[in-house]
Structure 1
Amino acid sequence: MTGMAQQHYRLGMNYFQGKGVQKSYAEAMKWFRLAAQEGYPRAIFMLGRMYDTGKGIAENPAEAVKYYRQAAELGYARAQNLLGQAFIKGHGVPANYDEALKWFRKAAEQNFSDGQYNLGLMYAKGHGVPKDFLEARRWWGLAAEQGNPKVQFTLGHMYLVGKGVKKNYSKARQWLRQAADQGLPTAQYHLGIMYAKGTGVLQSYTEARKWLQKAAEQNYLDAIYTLGKLLSTGNDEVRDPALAVSLLQQAATRGHQRAKVAVAHHYAKGIGIAQDLQLAYHWWLEAAKEGNSDAQYNLGVMYINGKGAKRDALEGKKWLTKAADQGHTKAQYCLGVMYSTGKGVPQDMDEALRWKEAAEFWESL
Structure 2
Amino acid sequence: MRPILPAARRRSTRWFVQTIDKVVLTLSPISPPKSTKGRSKFFRLRRNKQNEDETTALKDSTETTPGFESRAHSTSLKDNTPTRTNTGLDSTLDCSDLGDLDIDLKPFYDHRSEDPSHRIVFIAGPEHFYYLALQLETSPRLEYQLYGKDLFIRSAGLGYAPAQFKLGICYELGLTHFPMDPSHSFVWYKRAAMQGHADAELAVSGWYLTGHPQGLIQSEPLAYEWASKAARRGWSKAEYTLGHYHEVGIGVPQDLQLAKQWYLKAAARGNERALLRLLVGHVGLEVDYAHLKDALLAQNENNPYLIHQLAQFHELREYGLVPDEDAAFELYAASAQANYAPAQYKLGACYEFGILGCAPDPVQAVHWYGQGAENGHVEALLALAGFYLDGSAGAAAEQSDEEAFRLVKAAALRGVPKAEYITGFFLEYALGVEKNPREAKQWYHLACAKGVDSAERRLRDLERATAATTA
Q: Which category describes the TM-score, using the shorter chain as reference length? A: 0.5 to 0.7
Distance 1:191 1:111, change over 3 A: closer
Conserved in 1, the CA contact under 8 Å of 2:202 and 2:226? no
Instruction: Compute the displacement of 1:252 (Å).
Output: 0.8
The 5 Å alignment of 1:47-62 reads 48=202
Counterpart residue identity of residue 444, structure 2: W
Q: For residue 387 of structure 2, what is the aligned residue in structure 1?
A: 230
Counterpart residue identity of residue 45, structure 1: D
Distance 1:102 1:311 in 2: 75
Distance 1:144 1:110, change over 3 A: closer
Conserved in 2, the CA contact under 8 Å of 1:69 and 1:80? no
Distance 1:158 1:187 in 2: 14
Conserved in 2, the CA contact under 8 Å of 1:84 and 1:101? no
Q: CA deviation digits over 1:60-101, x for unaligned, max 9?
A: 9x99x98896143452342424536988xx9xxx9xxx7999
Q: For residue 80 of structure 1, what is the aligned residue in structure 2?
A: 238
Distance 1:170 1:102, change over 3 A: same
Q: CA deviation digits over 1:295-324, x for unaligned, max 9?
A: 223333334xx23x4369xxxxxxxxxxxx
- Asked if 1:137 corresponds to 2:137, the answer is no
Instruction: Compute the displacement of 1:185 (Å).
Output: 1.6
Distance 1:223 1:31 in 2: 47
- Asked if 1:252 corresponds to 2:412, the answer is yes
Instruction: Compute the displacement of 1:35 (Å).
Output: 6.2
Distance 1:299 1:113 in 2: 53
Relative to structure 2, which stretch is displaced further, 226-235 or 177-186? 226-235
- Asked if 1:299 corresponds to 2:451, the answer is no
Q: For residue 155 of structure 1, what is the aligned residue in structure 2?
A: 310
Q: CA deviation digits over 1:281-308, x for unaligned, max 9?
A: 22222112211122223333334xx23x
Q: CA deviation digits over 1:87-121, x for unaligned, max 9?
A: 8xx9xxx9xxx799965741524774334x53442
Task: Pick one of 165, 187, 198 that aligns with 1:44.
Answer: 198
Once the two structures are aligned, what percentage of the paired residues are identical? 16
Distance 2:377 2:314 in 1: 22
Task: Pick one of 192, 197, 209 that aligns with 2:348.
Answer: 192
TM-score scaled by structure 1?
0.61
Q: For residue 241 of structure 1, what is the aligned residue in structure 2?
A: 401
Counterpart residue identity of residue 425, structure 2: H
Distance 1:110 1:155, change over 3 A: closer
- Asked if 1:215 corresponds to 2:375, the answer is no
Counterpart residue identity of residue 330, structure 2: Q
The 5 Å alignment of 1:7-46 reads 25-26=152-153, 27=155, 30-32=159-161, 36-38=193-195, 40=196, 43-46=197-200
Structure with greater contact order relative to length (CA < 8 Å, sep ≥ 6): 2
Distance 1:82 1:12 in 2: 32
Conserved in 1, the CA contact under 8 Å of 2:239 and 2:266? no
Distance 1:16 1:157, change over 3 A: farther
Q: CA deviation digits over 1:110-143, x for unaligned, max 9?
A: 774334x53442243233337x7xx373463243
Task: Pick one of 431, 446, 466 that aligns with 1:271.
Answer: 431
Distance 2:427 2:401 in 1: 11
Distance 1:264 1:110 in 2: 48
Counterpart residue identity of residue 285, structure 1: H
Distance 1:205 1:261 in 2: 26
Counterpart residue identity of residue 289, structure 2: R
Conserved in 1, the CA contact under 8 Å of 2:260 and 2:278? no
Distance 2:192 2:265 in 1: 26
Conserved in 2, the CA contact under 8 Å of 1:192 and 1:208? yes
Distance 2:129 2:264 in 1: 30
Distance 1:48 1:118, change over 3 A: closer
SS of the residue corresponding to residue 460 of structure 2 reads helix
Distance 2:338 2:435 in 1: 41
Distance 1:47 1:109, change over 3 A: closer
Structure 1: gaps of 5 or more residues: 1-7, 53-59, 313-365
Counterpart residue identity of residue 232, structure 1: L
Distance 1:294 1:111, change over 3 A: closer
Q: For residue 358 of structure 1, what is the aligned residue in structure 2?
A: none
Q: For residue 335 of structure 2, what is the aligned residue in structure 1?
A: 179
SS of the residue corresponding to residue 114 of structure 1 reads coil
When Rg is computed on C-alpha atoms for both structures, the one with the higher figure is 2
Structure 2: gaps of 5 or more residues: 1-83, 85-124, 137-147, 162-189, 207-213
Instruction: Compute the displacement of 1:44 (Å).
Output: 3.4
TM-score scaled by structure 2?
0.48
Distance 2:317 2:126 in 1: 47
Distance 2:333 2:126 in 1: 38
Q: For residue 168 of structure 2, what is the aligned residue in structure 1?
A: none
Q: For residue 342 of structure 1, what is the aligned residue in structure 2?
A: none
